[in-house]
């Protein structure tokens, strides 16, 4: 008979199959195991509005669920949302024990599901593979606990830490192999963001290309001064998803002609009360964006870093050297050492990809 951790690892693998498809819900996997250690049912939450993982696993188990153990990567829900409460189904199926990786941070649940199970006589254990479960659903936890999206800063740098050959110069650094990995990442996140400087310099499309993406991809431009031109290439890709230009009501009034031109080109202007990073990110969370991939540029990354709003990084280090005239990514006071945990380093063609979570104290 396998350990609790082994069965939970299987549930986590199942949960990961829905990556990029479940927002605003978390990814969840579940496994039903008979008293003698046989997996009799398994399932995962495929997308928002579909059956939850526990229900799918119990459907697969049928009568074999009675007296069995249910392993789930998140506490079973106890409230009516798009679907009925999972705890009712778990109790009705005769499950004897529930092993949950973590409590659900959603205030509508927040331990109530586990309490309902305990009151019904179901044995409950929490914490098996909890860290892995939290990291898998870091965007969901970020919105529920901090009221803002999980921010992943992605950058391609030269070997000497530069992002461009000079100010205002579009500089291609990463290889085709690394670009492919970036497209795969775009296929999973809720939105891709850049600053207006990146739009003016690189004129990116910000689409998920040559990869499968089930949902529309939101594109976000941090542009307090409304510098984005109506001719920007990203505005020619509205079939891929909406383009949000974040600004303030004050600047909309000051630059009314620019605002009208952007709206006529298909952009959606989103006004933020004070234009600061915390208020802006809270606004994005209210729009249903949980996982925000910020691809540039250094000014936006620096502002996010100083606001303590970067949660993880992906740094593509290329073999090219740009020299002292090049534009640095972040200044030393914005990039303290040690900065990252859970660091992973992978060779990708001629490049090296460094990924890691930012140390946090909150």
Please report which confidence band the pLDDT of residue 83 belongs to, taking 50, 70 and 90 as the band edges. low
38: exposed, middle or buried (Cβ count in 10 Å: 0-12, 13-18, 19+): exposed
What integer is the mean pLDDT of 227-251? Answer: 96
- Cβ neighbours for 111, distance < 8 A, ≥ 6 positions apart: 75, 103, 104
Res 97 pLDDT > 90: yes
Res 245 pLDDT > 80: yes
What integer is the mean pLDDT of 171-187? Answer: 93
If you search the block for the tokens 């290439």, which residue do you land on?
233
256: exposed, middle or buried (Cβ count in 10 Å: 0-12, 13-18, 19+): exposed
- Ranges of CATH 3.40.430.10 domains, the chain: 145-358
What integer is the mean pLDDT of 149-169? Answer: 91
Please report which confidence band the pLDDT of residue 170 belongs to, taking 50, 70 and 90 as the band edges. confident
Res 241 pLDDT > 80: yes
What integer is the mean pLDDT of 301-310? Answer: 92
Please report which confidence band the pLDDT of residue 112 belongs to, taking 50, 70 and 90 as the band edges. confident
Spelled out in words, what is the top-level CATH class assigned to the domain 145-358?
alpha beta
Cα separation, 303 vs 147, whole angstroms: 18
Res 9 pLDDT > 80: yes
For the stretch 318-352, pLDDT in tens is 999 999 889 999 875 555 546 788 899 999 999 99
Name the residue among 189, 175, 176, 196 with its Cα closest to residue 296. Answer: 196
Specify the pLDDT at position 361. Answer: 62
What integer is the mean pLDDT of 129-134? Answer: 96
Q: Which residues are annotated as catalytic?
A: 54
Report the percent of the chain where pLDDT is more than 90. 78
- Ranges of CATH 3.40.140.10 domains, the chain: 4-136
Cα separation, 55 vs 238, whole angstroms: 36
Superfamily assignment of 4-136 in CATH? Cytidine Deaminase, domain 2 (3.40.140.10)
For the stretch 180-214, pLDDT in tens is 999 999 999 999 999 999 999 999 999 999 898 98
What integer is the mean pLDDT of 46-71? Answer: 94
Cα separation, 145 vs 198, whole angstroms: 31
State which H helix or E strand residue 162 sits in: strand 162-164
Lowest model confidence (mean pLDDT) among 110-114, 173-177, 309-313? 110-114
Res 79 pLDDT > 80: no
Specify the pLDDT at position 57. Answer: 96
Specify the pLDDT at position 296. Answer: 84
Please report which confidence band the pLDDT of residue 284 belongs to, taking 50, 70 and 90 as the band edges. very high
What integer is the mean pLDDT of 269-273? Answer: 91
């Amino acid at each position: 008979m396998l350990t609790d951790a082994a069965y939970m690892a299987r549930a986590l693998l199942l949960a990961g199959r829905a990556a990029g498809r479940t927002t605003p819900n978390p990814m969840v996997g579940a496994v039903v195991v008979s008293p003698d250690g046989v997996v009799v049912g398994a399932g995962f939450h495929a997308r928002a509005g579909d059956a939850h993982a526990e229900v799918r696993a119990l459907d697969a188990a049928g009568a074999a669920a009675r007296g069995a153990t249910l392993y789930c990567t998140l506490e079973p829900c106890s409230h009516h949302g798009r679907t009925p409460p999972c705890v009712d189904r778990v109790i009705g199926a005769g499950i004897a024990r529930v092993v949950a990786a973590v409590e659900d941070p959603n205030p509508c649940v927040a331990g109530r599901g586990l309490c309902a199970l305990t009151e019904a006589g179901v044995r409950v254990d929490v914490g098996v593979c909890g860290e892995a479960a939290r990291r898998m659903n870091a965007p969901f936890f970020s919105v529920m606990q901090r009221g803002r999206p999980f921010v992943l800063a992605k950058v391609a740098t030269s070997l000497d830490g530069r992002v461009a050959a000079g100010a205002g110069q579009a500089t291609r650094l990463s290889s085709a192999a690394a670009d492919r990995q970036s497209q795969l990442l775009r296929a999973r996140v809720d939105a891709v963001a850049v600053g207006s400087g990146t739009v003016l310099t690189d004129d990116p499309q910000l689409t998920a290309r040559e990869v499968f993406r089930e949902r529309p991809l939101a594109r976000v431009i941090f542009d307090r001064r409304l510098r984005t031109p109506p001719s920007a290439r990203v505005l020619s890709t509205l079939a891929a998803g909406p383009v949000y230009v974040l600004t303030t009501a004050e600047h909309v009034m000051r630059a009314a002609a620019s605002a009208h031109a952007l709206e006529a080109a298909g952009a959606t202007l989103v006004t933020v009360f004070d234009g600061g990073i915390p208020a802006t990110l809270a606004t994005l969370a209210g729009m249903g964006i949980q996982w925000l991939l910020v691809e540039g540029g250094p000014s936006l990354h620096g502002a996010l870093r100083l606001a303590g709003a970067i949660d993880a990084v992906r740094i593509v280090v290329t073999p090219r050297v740009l020299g002292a005239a090049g534009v640095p990514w972040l200044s030393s006071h914005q990039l303290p050492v040690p900065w990252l945990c859970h660091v992973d380093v992978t060779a990708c063609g001629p490049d090296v990809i460094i990924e890691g979570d930012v140390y946090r104290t909150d």
